[in-house]
A and B are shown apart, each in its own frame.
Chain A
Amino acid sequence: MRSGHTFLALLLLIGSLGVARGEDTGNSLASGSQVPDVPKPQWYTGSLVSPSGALSQKGVLAW
């Protein structure tokens, strides 16, 4: 459990680094890089495990 917390803290630190470009959560015009001169936004389906992704892992006890 402790290693899980350490791993989570590290991930949140990495994820909040200022070099990241934020975006919306879907395939809207705000998706992709959100750089105004990019004509084609990237399309995503969502990855396998992430909470708002396509599937839930481990069934009843997972997201």
Chain B
Amino acid sequence: MMYSQPTGYLDALGNSHPLHPRQQTVTSFTLYKYSILDTLSVQTTPSISYGWKRHNGSTSGLKLGDLPIDLMWRFLNARPERYIPALSLFAGVSMPTGDYSRLGRTQDGIGTGTYVFRAALTEQSTYTLPGQHELRLRVWGTFRRALTTARLRDVTSYGTDTGFRGKGQPGMSGQSGFSLEYGVNQKWVLAMDLARDWANGARVRGYDGKGKSVDFTRASTGDWLIAPAIEYSWSPRFGVIAGVSAYFAGHNTGTVISPQIAFNSVF
């Protein structure tokens, strides 16, 4: 469960500006991960969100976002005796299940309307620090690229207005980052993520309500994100994590702060 609210806006030069009114969103993510083989798993992350903005209404209800389905393959197993970390590849597609076109309300536009390919390379390793404290390091890089183009009509998640007819496609995007998880003891862990997001702007082509040709590409965006958290696991199979993610630098993006809490279980 995640609440997010921008506290300001970073312009093209990275200068901060106040932002009013602020789009606020509560999103529930559920990551389902099923192990097919010891080294191969499939996962999906359906999301449901509700958004609102002061003096500007809200979403028309709970909104289902685009649905990603990914395969995860651990192609290098850990070999502790030779100090080799685990390496994994993710690959999948995000399905266009979220609303994106012919919207009754602007805030309902939470989907892209396109199938988006996703790939990632992840690394995982642990260290034992003095005092028998475990430190887990994860490093990752992700990449996303739209495979199709969305047909757009009227008010859409691409920022078009009533009368618009055309197509749109999100730009390529990605993220790289690392996380550190420090074991205070077996049950309590202090975690911290640091990540960098980048995205090329979306391309929109078509005709507006007056028949005028429209063809533009939105500005690229980028941000730096930090996410401290605390984990508590009362068994190897059950645990909770609570923390906050916050943007602290970037350009053409809101400085979003998101308190989050999650429950983790393994069956």
Contact = CB atoms under 8 A, between A and B. Distances in A.
Given A42-B186, A56-B45, A60-B98, A11 B178 contact: yes
B210 interface: no
Contact of A40 (B43, B126, B186, B260): B186
Given A15-B137, A61-B144, A47 B192 contact: yes
A48 B245 contact: yes
B189 interface: yes
A22 B86 contact: yes
Name the prevailing secondary structure of the B interface residues.
strand
B84 A22 contact: yes
Interface string B162-201: 0000000010011111110101001101011101111110
Nearest to A12: B139
Nearest to A34: B80
Interface of B: 2, 25, 27, 29, 31, 33, 43, 45, 47, 49, 65-66, 68, 72, 74, 76-80, 83-86, 88, 90, 94, 98, 110-112, 116, 118, 120-128, 132, 134, 136-142, 144, 170, 173-179, 181, 183, 186-187, 189, 191-193, 195-200, 220, 222, 225, 227, 229, 231-233, 235-237, 239-241, 243, 245, 258, 260, 262, 264, 266
5 contacts: A23-B124, A38-B128, A49-B179, A51-B140, A59-B29
